Structure 1
Amino acid sequence: MHRLQDKVALITGAARGLGAAIAQRFAEEGASVIINDQNLDTARATADRLGGHAVAADVANSASVAAMFGEVSKIAPRLDILVNNAGISGLEGRNYAEQIIALRLQQADEIARGGPVTTFLDGTVSTTDAGWRRMLSVHVDGTFYCTREALKIMNTQMSGCIINMASVMGTFGRPGSVPYSTAKAAILGFTRALAHEVAVRNIRVNSIAPGWIHTDMTAPLGALRDRIAAQTPLQRLGDPDDIAWAAVYLASEEAKFMTGQVISPNGGWYMSQ
């Protein structure tokens, strides 16, 4: 099937991980894909593999995003799909990630035994101004900046589809992940409000809220991934394709009556919380 035949799609943060998986499935479904990454060479490597185009931008910088959309307008006369996928996990620093994970496991064991909890995660207290700002700027500001520029095109077309990447953390939250959970919750609210605003122009806005997925972003979780898989009814973490196919559906005509919605591929993990 070619469910996205002749559609033009811009996917941010698409040089690897979930973004690359989404871009690949979009291309296979007939879309012309435009790959964004901060590094143009990295974006170009993925774009060349998929027969698409590459554009560079730091989505957290409004001027950089505006310049990127200037390049997008040179590539294609229209924009049918925007996927706001670019993001960071907050676990990029391996030492920090290992410390948080060790504390989570220790605290979980104490709770499971029913004894006194003596292990505490003071992630909020230890979060710096710069760390807080960076998390929100990439996820929230980046989603806003890219959407604002995309709407300048889609409003004129009187059509379009925007898919925002949220997370189950935006609904449930977890100790040690307050900045990330806050950013993803903001994206859920942004999606619902924007869907109301642009529906009269035949522009659909939806979110995907993945559960735990095997990507570079979750690699630092190490042993915690096995425990998460055991707590998930389907007994595994998701694959990037599990998210990519959800994006294909939301971008296709099959979802033409869906807007303001959240699809959450999580293997049933939310039921165990």
Structure 2
Amino acid sequence: MTSSDTPSPLLELTDIAVHFGGVKAVDGVTISLDEGLIYGIMGSNGSGKSTLLGAVTRLNPLTRGEMKFDGTQFTKVRPHQVAHLGVARTFQTVRLIDDRTVRDNVLLGLDTVSRRRRRELPDSAVDEVMERVGITAIQRVRPSELSYGMQRRVEIARAIVGKPRLLLLDEPTAGMNTAERDEVSELMRALQSEGLTQLLVEHDVAMMVDVCDYLFGMNQGELIAQGKPAAVVADKAVRESYLGKQAGDA
């Protein structure tokens, strides 16, 4: 295969910086994501992980840097235009509307896609995504009646109903028990088998190693390691920044 035959990365971030006054929340991060893989970002609280996701979805303004999605620069577009490109996101805290049913919440995900892409979606798109995520049986239920793990499933269904090419997941298993965490891991693998690229921010190291194909380690806004999950977790700089004293005691 020649270099010209090599597909370009789905997402390219070059020298990304997000500064809030004198705080360098993200400072000079360069990463790329190939299509169809699950990536993870690990780091301690305040390392810049969620801020970086916010930069990709244009919720956090860039101080500098360039971003490309499938070769198209989108550094200066608005948040809704990022969604139109095919990028979807979930957040750290559950953001469902309690006075609407599960089905209604999933339907809201279609509001984020472009008119052209919505016309291309089948009428059965909502039913199909609820079945894929395993929430068909609870579609008439209110989110407040569900377990935390099931609420997260609803959020993921809402994010992917418009058939994005990249899904950003911000701490999707926070507050979950082991069984719920394993269910989310299985769902992520199922979505990967369908070709969906995913970028995960998570504090559960065991889950990151188990589900991710590639990891990025961050500390104080900078990228300090990247590679196969086991290698990144074992990296001295990552262990010292993320595990702190525990790493010294190991």
Q: TM-score range by the shorter chain?
A: 0.3 to 0.5
Of Structure 1 and Structure 2, the greater helix share is in: 1
Higher relative contact order (CA 8 A, sep 6+): 2
Of Structure 1 and Structure 2, the greater strand share is in: 2
What is the TM-score with the length of structure 2 in the denominator?
0.35
What is the TM-score with the length of structure 1 in the denominator?
0.32
